[in-house]
Structure 1
Amino acid sequence: MALTQPIPTLTGLGSLPATSHPLVQYRSLHPTFGADAFADFTTITQELVDEIKMGLAKYGVLVFRKTGLSDAKHVEMSHLFGDLDDIAPFVKGLGQENRLSSDFLFDVGNVNPDGTVMQPGGMRDLLLRCNNHFHADSAFNPRRAGISLLLAHELPPAGFGGDTEFADTRSAYKGLSEEQKEEINDWVVCNSQLNCRRNANIDDNGKLNPLLDTDEFDPMKHRFGKHKLVQTHEPSGRKNLYIAAHAHHVEGLPIEESQQKLNELLSHAGNPEYTLRVEWRDPGDLVIWDNTCTLHRSIPGTFAGKYKRDLRRTTVHDTSTQAWGLNGEGATWRSGLD
């Protein structure tokens, strides 16, 4: 599909290498990260994907508008980024039904398999509430996510909410005091998808929804994805915080004490000076981000139970030296299914 708007002439791209005919151009959205990106997706090539990767190394989050991508083209392009995670273990292990055309597409919208709008209060709604908290995809699995590509198919009317917010964990680390950096430098965080799901379903009185008050949803009854908290983001060479709402505790520290400290760090990373809100405008909008240097969360809105918010994500496995954390390279277990 040809671009619906001309590619602007942009300057100030910092460390991005100059090319005579760039396939992607950028317009900064925030002082420290994030950019509107402009490209033609009529022909998807490895060269185009490699330029997008260079943009991600600088900006962390790239927003493409009206790409015209179909499910098939979305998956095709994603394969050029690297090996993809798939939904098949969860479909099989949890008895779920995949309404989408490929097991490489993660359904993060509010559409039921029969095409109706998901209603608040059901189990799927309860589980997806975790997405409203800052997280990095697959931090809870033995091999974490690298790049995620989220494509809009159907959106609520304007003014009904459903935006996505991102946090810059490189700048968040830089903003810590030297004493804080020294304290957390060697911490290993134990991550669980179940931790986020439980915390997202605690009411104002501190009571956990009884549907999740079972061994099946108890993080201590399952394996943890273990990753260093302080890491070097290899594409940029900058240090960052690898933290998310999945963080349950710090290995070797008292659980309650470490949970308090982790919550403080997560709150720090979510400060307005480190965050960027992306508005979904049209079907075909595509947001690509690097989970190893950013966090993201969906913003609730009045569309819930009324209008479809159909977003579909492909997830590229991390290929850095830190991809497997302390979980053992080649491990195949999945969080909540072990």
Structure 2
Amino acid sequence: MAPAQVMTATEAPSITTLPLVAGPLVEYRPIHPTFGAEATADFSSITSELVDEIKQGLAKYGVLVFRKTGLDDARHVEMSHLFGDLDDIAPFVSGLGQKNRLTSDYLFDVGNVNPDGTVMQPGTMRDLLLRCNYHFHADSAFNPRRAGISLLLAHELPPAELGGDTEFADTRSAYEHLSEGRKEQIKDWVVMNSQLQCRRNANTDKNGALNPLLDTDEFDPMKHRFGIHRLVQLHEPSGRTNLYIAAHAHHVEGMGIEEGQKELKGLLEYVDQPKYTFRVKWRDPGDLVVWDNTCVLHRSVPGSYAGKYKRDLRRTTVHDMGPQAWGLNEVGATWRNGLD
């Protein structure tokens, strides 16, 4: 009988330790067939690597929705700085004699909370000015340097059944689906943008009558400078072409004002179709929505919470860092539309 074989410790098979492979810092679940994604990430450590991945996600999806991030004002601003140069609210606070209730001039107060902490009431001047947000727009299209990325963080929300959602529109797919003839027609259009145009339209009744509070030179777009940008642009991060159109669009350069406004209204109505839009429902404080203003539009959705419950949303705005940031405006200009 052959002797039994005994495996000694030195003969035990070796185990090779493989290096850890880092997974993605951001994961995505598409929301809409053409754009937008629910995204997950760990915001306990804010790094340039995390921000770079978010930028890559924005290039593809245009809009990213993060839930329960745990961010506060300080970390919201800290992360935003990693995206690029930030816009600030100081010119508006000083220029309009307002008070900033927030801790940083880099935070835009876009909710319905007054400086004294009370809920904004319908019909007040602040309410009239913010009604522009109910129309599809791109942040800062009316200024000499437009906005690139916006980061909107929820702090306090009304009951979900009372509304207060935010909608987005995909201007890349909208452009792609235009007929070749229409693309040729609009390819060289230059749009004159004004925040005051949106504010007036948002306060005009069904008979075309403008609220008298805004029927002054202070709110007349023609009495102020325009943010000038091309309508058809290359979206550099994705290499796709898009429409840079917003509710701030006042007229088309070189075209009769009435004719231009009719054309621009038609384009906005075209973009505002279910196949190009989706709605984000805010759920919890800490929810964060990040979007690229150069390829998507957004608007706030009215709700029955108005005048009753707080909807405290705070936005940081990253200036466009690309070659089309200044449009056809003077590079380096610091004026703000409506305060010039």
TM-score, with normalisation over the residues of structure 1?
Answer: 0.94
Secondary structure of the residue aligned to 1:236 is: coil
Distance 1:206 1:332 in 2: 34
The answer to whether 1:301 aligns with 2:308 is: no
Report the 3-state secondary structure (helix = DSSP H, G, I; strand = E; otherwise coil) of the residue aligned with 1:98. coil
Residue 48 (structure 1) aligned with residue 67 (structure 2): no
- Code of the residue aligned with 2:97 in structure 1: it is G
- Alignment partner of 1:182: what SS? helix
How many residue pairs are counted as aligned between the two chains? 320
What is the distance in 2 between the residues matched to 1:119 and 1:175? 41
Taking only the aligned residue pairs, the percentage that are identical comes to 80
Match of 1:238 among 216, 237, 240: 240
* 1:91 aligned counterpart, secondary structure: helix
Once residues 41 and 222 of structure 2 are traced to their aligned partners in structure 1, the CA distance between those partners, rounded to angstroms, is 45
Secondary structure of the corresponding residue to residue 307 of structure 1 = coil
Q: Look up the match of 2:74.
A: 72
1:136-165 superposed Cα distances (whole Å, 9 cap, x missing partner): 000000000000000000000120000000
Q: Gaps spanning 5+ residues in structure 1: where?
A: 1-18
Q: Which residue of 2 aligns with 1:311?
A: 313
Question: Partner residue of 2:107?
Answer: 105
How far off is 1:307 after superposition? 0.3
Distance (whole Å) between structure 1 residues aligned to residue 114 and residue 255 of structure 2: 41
One-letter amino acid of the structure 1 residue matched with residue 199 of structure 2:
R
Instruction: Verify: 1:205 aligned to 2:207, yes or no.
Output: yes
Aligned residue number for residue 84 of structure 1: 86
Deviation at 1:107? 0.3
Structure 1 match to 2:126: 124
The one of 112, 133, 136 equivalent to 1:134 is 136
Instruction: Pick one of 3, 25, 28 that aligns with 2:27.
Output: 25
Partner amino acid, structure 2, of 1:269: V
1:289 partnered with 2:291:
yes
1:213-261 alpha-carbon deviations (Å, 9 max, x no partner):
0000000000000000000000000000000000000000000001000
Q: Which deviations, in whole Å up to 9, do the C-alpha atoms of 1:61-103 show, x marking residues without a partner? A: 0000000100000000000000000000000111011000000
Alignment match, 1:15: none
Q: Distance in 2 between matches of 1:185 and 1:320?
A: 20
Q: Deviations over 1:259-297 (max 9, x none)?
A: 000000011111110001000000000000000000000
CA distance in 1, matches of 2:156, 2:311: 6
Aligned equivalents of 1:284, 1:135: Cα separation in 2: 24
Q: Distance in 1 between matches of 2:174 and 2:211?
A: 32
1:161-195 CA-partner distances (Å, limit 9, x unpaired): 00000000000101111111001000000000000
Find the counterpart in structure 1 of residue 327 from structure 2. Answer: 325
CA displacement at 1:21 relative to structure 2:
1.6
CA distance in 1, matches of 2:184, 2:54: 34
Distance 2:33 2:225 in 1: 38
- 3-state SS in 1 of match to 2:275: helix
Amino acid in structure 2 at the alignment position of 1:235:
P
* Residue 204 of structure 1: how far off its partner (Å): 1.7
Cα shift at 1:20: 4.4
* Alignment correspondent of 2:10: none
Q: Does 1:174 align with 2:163?
A: no
Structure 2: which amino acid aligns with 1:150?
L
User: What is the rounded CA distance, in whole Å, between the counterparts of 2:271 and 2:52 in structure 1?
Assistant: 28
Residue of structure 2 equivalent to 1:280: 282
Cα distance between partner residues in 2 of 1:141 and 1:310: 25
Distance in 2 between residues matched to 1:233 and 1:103, nearest whole Å: 29
CA distance in 1, matches of 2:272, 2:153: 24
- C-alpha distance in structure 1 between counterparts of 2:22 and 2:55, whole Å: 18
Task: Tell me which residue corresponds to 1:192.
Answer: 194
The whole-number CA distance in structure 2 between the counterparts of 1:173 and 1:205 is 32
Q: Greater CA radius of gyration, 1 or 2?
A: 2
Matched with 1:145 is: 147
Counterpart-to-counterpart distance in 2, 1:20 and 1:78: 24
Length-normalised TM-score, structure 2? 0.94
Structure 1 CA distance, aligned partners of 2:301 and 2:102? 23
Q: Unaligned regions of 5+ residues in structure 2, if any? A: 1-20
* Partner Cα separation in structure 1 for residue 321 and residue 120 of structure 2: 35
Backbone CA RMSD of aligned residues: 0.7
* Residue in 2 that maps onto 1:266: 268
Determine helix, strand or coil for the equivalent of 1:227: strand
The superposition leaves residues 114-138 of structure 1 with CA deviations (integer Å, 9 ceiling, x where unpaired) of: 1110000000000000000000000
**How far apart, CA to CA, are the structure 2 residues paired with 1:26 and 1:66?**
15
